[in-house]
Structure 1
Amino acid sequence: MIKNKLYLSSLLLMGLLVSGNVSAEERTPEAGNTMQNEQQVEKQAQSDGLEQTAVQQKDNQAQAEIQDKVEQAKAAAKEKNAQIDSALMGGENESGSYYLPDGTEHSDLNKTDSSNETNLFDLELYSLPTVSAANANLPTKSFVDIASYNGNVSVADFQKMKSYGVKGVVVKLTEGTSYQNPYAPTQIANAKAAGLKVSAYHYSWFTSDESARAEANYFAAYANRIGLAKSTVMVNDIEAPGIVNQGNHTNDSASFADQLHRLGYGNVRHYASYGWLSNGLLNGNTLGNKNIWVAAYPYNLSADNYYTAYGAWQWSSLVTFPSVNGTFDVSADYTGIFQADTSEGSNPGTSPVGTDAMYRLYNPNSGEHFYTRDNNEKNNLTQAGWRYEGVAWNAPQNGNPVYRMYNPNAGDHHYTLNTSERDSLKKAGWRYEGISWYSGGGQLLYRLYNPNARTGTHHYTLNTNERDNLTQVGWRYEGVAWYGK
């Protein structure tokens, strides 16, 4: 029994071993697959880890780029704010420390109640000196500008200003497309009665070509309604803080001027604070620096005239005239466009008996100034794009002839009393166009020459300031050209 049991046990054990061996052999492929799967999982995990690292790196790079853009935007905003602050406040240059108008002083649509607040502009303005026109140590007092806040300035008041050297007044007419100065008709009439040359300005809010032309239409309509001549100097006052960096100020100002030209007003100028020009908000080279009336108020005034590269300089808004109420904006005129001939015996607005008004025009494309007594020629040139700059002087209707010459190669005109010069130019190919006007009287016409220009090489002016300013920037003074009345 024991032997049989041992035998059976052996058989059972062998069976188990055989059974175990078979099962092991049968499971070997599955075990291999499991190992391969584990290896694949491990490789996949490694691959996923690499991809995750790459994704994280990309995310980090993207975040860095975003942060960099944020910092750039912050820097740009800071620079823009600094630019605006500089454009609106002040600084220092050859005139010393100066303050700029805040841009709201001339506005009638941007009035706010600031009775409980004192802003930085107020503090700056209050620190400026109020000066009397009787002070001899001041820049040139060529003209003043006024608005509704000046009220009805009387003829006597304007005559008092005239006694201190003022020869012109620029009156605010309009603002935007909804405001008209109700005092303008009386202010203009009184200024003319006092013998001052009257110009007009519009406080601008335009930020596009379309809005610039709309405001020009509004300005011209009111000027026409109150009887201002088409020869009136029309000024674009661009200084509103609320429009800084909205639109292209230079192009929009050019559109404003172009629209006025289309409406027959060919004598357009632009008023702006020095900050708008020095910070590139307005391009004086594009608009013509001599067409710019710039504002900058030195803290320490003297008899020196600054900013002579421009057409005019507003040097204070706090000038008083003895026995005249209030303070006034006063400017120096470097081209003569804002001032009348107020010499004894003259009658601003009309030519003296026995004389012809000599019209001065400017070609912005060639740089040439042109002079004529022919009203039709003046109007034709204005329609063709020349800028009418007003009456330059009055010429007698007889006297010594002034000859007009034309260079067909350069497109330039030249004027001379000298028959030898006339004949020499004819031999050199210039065309003789006849007697242009006559010379005579006590007013000196100065002749200057620009050695760098091809056209517009000669310039003629009654204005000693204009003569001296051109000489300082490189023109050659050639003496007295002829005489006028």
Structure 2
Amino acid sequence: NKATSVASSAVNRQATTTKKSDINLTTVTASTPETDVWTIGDTTRPRVDVVDVASYQSAMTQSDYNKLKAAGVKTVIIKTTEGTGYTNPVALAQAKMANAAGLNVDFYHYATFNTADTAQMEATNMANFLVKNNVSKKVLLFADMEDAKTYIVNATANLNTFWSVLNALGYTNHGVYTSNTYLYRDAVIKTVGQSRVWRAQYPYTPSANNLWNTDDGAWQFSSTALLPSGSDYTGYIDVSICYNGLTEDSAGTNTFSTPNEFVNQYHWEGNKLYFYGSNGQPITGFRHYGNNKLEYYGSDHAQYRNRYLTAANNQLYYFGSNGDAITGLRHYGNNKLEYYGTDHIQYRNRFATVGNNKLYYFGSNGDAISKSQADNQIASSTAATPNTKPATQVRLMATSSAAMKIKPITYKIQSKQMTRNQYQWQGNNLYYYGNDGQPITGLRHYSNNKLEYYGTDHVQYRNRYAS
């Protein structure tokens, strides 16, 4: 019986039910054997997806919640209220610590109502906690139906009255906690359906190979579990396995929000900007908007500003002071220059035509190559392979080690620009460099019905036929 304090030397539990009451305490004597004590993380036990806490666990620290997260726990269900006047004094702090650890939070109310009027009053008690603390409308709320005071033939109607008060305030995500020994178990389950039931039933020795109540949403299988080794809190805690995602169908770590949740809008918190999507949750990852605009939100949901992002396939983006991924040239550092295409991806090992028909080449680190850098590269290349001919593609300069040896002997780079739309002599051979700065091949029509031809070696044909 959970209404009694748990002695450290022994735990007498009924095998099929538990009490969550904080008030109207009674002492129950049982002759049933002790349920065993074990530690969360024991793989011989059912998987622990959920723990539930009340004021009994007020001594739990942030470190304890972090350890639960590390142990694979996903959700903490926290008692908010009981009856018409009691509120868990540490519920808010417990929820915030759970959220900070990355845990989903649900809430429950311990019911004692036996009339429609008292059901309405108890729902108002819970609602006062929810509204006062700006609890998200997405949070899953349980009615804890286990107290004998609720034993009445109108149990279904009373619980539906309780739900109707919460529904009117926008809190429509409901579940029922009960046990097999609750007198009106099937009646209260009707209000939400079996898939939304969180059922308590304790084997004396819970086993991973013997799961009970698998048609329910979740099964609370022990109240004598211990937190992982090294935790600050050394008392017992209730644990459950979730079968269908019920307990995670909530607000995640966004348990608290402003009274009007953000939907499809930005929101500043301190010096960080967040964007809340259509589901009212802050987004992560890329967000395309407007006319080819792109922004990015990290794993902490904060927008990237004045920083790089390396994405899939080693693609590099830079997000400016307004949060938008940049396009075009970017000057930085000591006379360094980089370039981002219309897709916002940094150019590497490729040319870019910019502004007034200026051609740039960006090396393997994304920086534009200067004349001196090109001089050094081409000089070392031609020294290694004398008498080389112009390459078909100058851009091969930086794509492979083999291609580094196939560079045109003739080049012209002025202020990081290259020769284009003009002839160049190399000894007795004439080349023509086109709009992209590359030596052309094939026919070239020019002037008044004039025609010339450049072979596969880019040399102009003279005194010879071409088919």
- State the TM-score, normalized to the length of structure 1: 0.48
| Structure having the larger proportion of residues in helix | 1
Decide which structure has the larger Cα Rg and report it.
Answer: 1
- State the TM-score, normalized to the length of structure 2: 0.49
Greater relative CO, 1 or 2 (CA 8 Å, sep 6+): 1
